[in-house]
Amino acid sequence: MSETEREGEDALIVEGLLAADEARWARLWTAVDAVLGEPSDQWVTWRGGQRLADGSVQAAWADYSPNVLATLTALASVDAITPFDWMAWMDGWDGIEHLRTGPVTDAVRYLTAVVRNDRMVEGSINQALHEGTFQAALARLRTWYDTER
C-alpha cells in the first residue's frame, strides 16, 4: 500500500470513529471496564470438542463471556471494527509496543484483525486478551478518545 493510500485509509478510519455518538462510546468503555475487571479465566468457556454417538468429534468453539461479547458489539458500534485488508496488514504488524504508541488507526486495524481472525481461528480473541495485545489496543483507542479526537 502506498503512503497516499495509507493516509486515505487512516482518514476513513478516523472519520468512522468520529461519527460515533457519545452514548456508543460510553457503552464501549462500560463494556471494556467490565472485561478488565473480570478474572481472565472467565473471558471464555470452551464448548464442544467431545466425541458424539456416531464417533465424530464436535468442533470446539470459544463461548465468550457476556462482557467480552458486549465489548465486541460496542467496538463495532463505534466503527473500531472496520473493513480493510487485515490479513495483509497482520503480516507486517509491529507488535504490542506499537499498539501502545502508534497511531489509533493501527489499534483499530489490530482490533479488526483479531476479531476477523477469530472467525477462522477459534479463540483468537481469547489469545489476544491473554497476551495483553487486545488490552493495549483498547487502551490506545481510549487515549485517542480522551485526549486526541
Question: How many domains does one find in the chain?
Answer: 1
Instruction: Name every residue whose Cβ is closer than 8 Å to that of residue 15 and which is 6 or more positions away in sequence.
Output: none
Stretch 26-44: mean pLDDT:
98
Would you tell me how many other CB atoms lie within 10 Å of the CB of residue 27? 17
What would the mean pLDDT of 6-29 be, rounded to a whole number?
Answer: 95
Domain range enclosing 114 = 3-148
**Who has greater pLDDT, 1 or 127?**
127
- The set of cell numbers assigned to 49 is 470438542
- What is the reported pTM? 0.92
